[in-house]
């Protein structure tokens, strides 16, 4: 079944530890995104990637890094986790790039989310 | 400053009621999405609109580009409609999606 797979589903880790959230899509979408969702706030963009080999910073990038070695995978790494990074993380993808001028055709597909608790 | 505002934040309805959720936005857009987030957390796309109206089953979404406003209607609501409904817009500069904070809907049998 085509879609996005995120792992882990849930994780508790100690502050200061390194953590990588995995995201894989099989739809051959160009663009991929990482969002965090916190109570009372809308989804906020952490990092994005237009296409394999390129990445960009979103609204809340500090403390996070990403890589896009190929079309399918877009891991999110917390180099040294802090309690404020406790959140639910969603990976998403779309068939068109971040800078695309085309309108109305950009379907957005989400993963199931990864709940991260930093103690 | 929120580029996307939704109302109401919370909504409780009796089964069978007609429900309306509103979304206003302040940026130029190429498309507007209505998303549904299930109690288990998964997010699915219900509609993508750039003009007019779309219908899918008991769900109807409308958009008024001039007024920068969209509504999501649910006819004959059912407890299984209980979820958080999120409005999202894609900027017409192609730069990013902006999300509302969601409307939490509870439909009581």
Q: In what order do the strands lie in the sheet with B19-25?
A: B4-7, B19-25, B69-74, B59-64, B52-56
Q: Given a cut of 80, is residue B39 above it in pLDDT?
A: no
- Chain B CA closest to residue A100: B94
Q: Given a cut of 80, is residue A111 above it in pLDDT?
A: yes
Whether B100 and B34 have beta carbons less than 8 Å apart is answered as: no
The candidate with the shortest Cα–Cα distance to B31, out of A53, A14, A96, A40, is: A96
With cut-offs at 50, 70 and 90, classify the pLDDT of residue A1. low
**CB-side neighbour CA atoms (13 Å) of B19:** 29
B41 is written with which tokens? 């957390």
CA distance B63 to chain A (A): 13
A108-119 burial, b at 16+ Cβ within 10 Å, e below that, comes to bbbbbbbebebe
Kindly list the residues from chain A whose CB atom is less than 8 angstroms away from the CB atom of residue B2.
42
Q: Cα–Cα distance between A91 and A72 in angstroms, integer?
A: 12
Better-predicted residue by pLDDT, A58 or A108? A58
B58-100 pLDDT, tens per residue?
Answer: 999 999 999 999 999 999 999 999 999 999 998 887 657 889 9
Q: Cα–Cα distance between B54 and B93 in angstroms, integer?
A: 24
What integer is the mean pLDDT of A62-77?
A: 97
């Amino acid at each position: 079944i085509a879609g996005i797979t995120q792992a882990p589903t849930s994780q508790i880790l100690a502050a200061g530890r390194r953590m990588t959230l995995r995201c894989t899509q099989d739809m051959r979408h160009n663009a991929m995104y990482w969002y965090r969702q916190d109570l009372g706030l809308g989804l906020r963009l952490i990092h994005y990637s237009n296409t394999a080999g390129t990445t960009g910073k979103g609204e809340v990038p500090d403390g996070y890094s990403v890589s896009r070695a190929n079309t399918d995978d877009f891991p999110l790494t917390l180099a040294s986790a802090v309690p404020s990074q406790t959140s639910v993380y969603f990976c998403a993808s779309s068939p068109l790039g971040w800078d695309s001028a085309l309108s109305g055709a950009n379907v957005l597909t989400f993963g199931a989310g990864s709940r991260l608790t930093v103690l | 400053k929120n580029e996307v505002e939704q109302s109401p934040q919370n909504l409780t309805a009796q089964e069978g009621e007609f429900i309306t959720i509103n979304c206003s936005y302040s940026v130029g857009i190429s498309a507007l999405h209505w998303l549904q987030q299930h109690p288990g957390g998964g997010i699915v796309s219900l509609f993508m609109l750039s003009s007019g109206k779309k219908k899918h089953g008991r769900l109807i979404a409308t958009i008024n580009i001039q007024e920068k406003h969209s509504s999501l209607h649910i006819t004959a609501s059912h407890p299984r409609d209980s979820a958080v409904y999120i409005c999202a817009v894609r900027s017409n500069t192609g730069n990013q999606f902006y999300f509302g904070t969601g409307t939490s809907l509870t439909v009581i049998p």
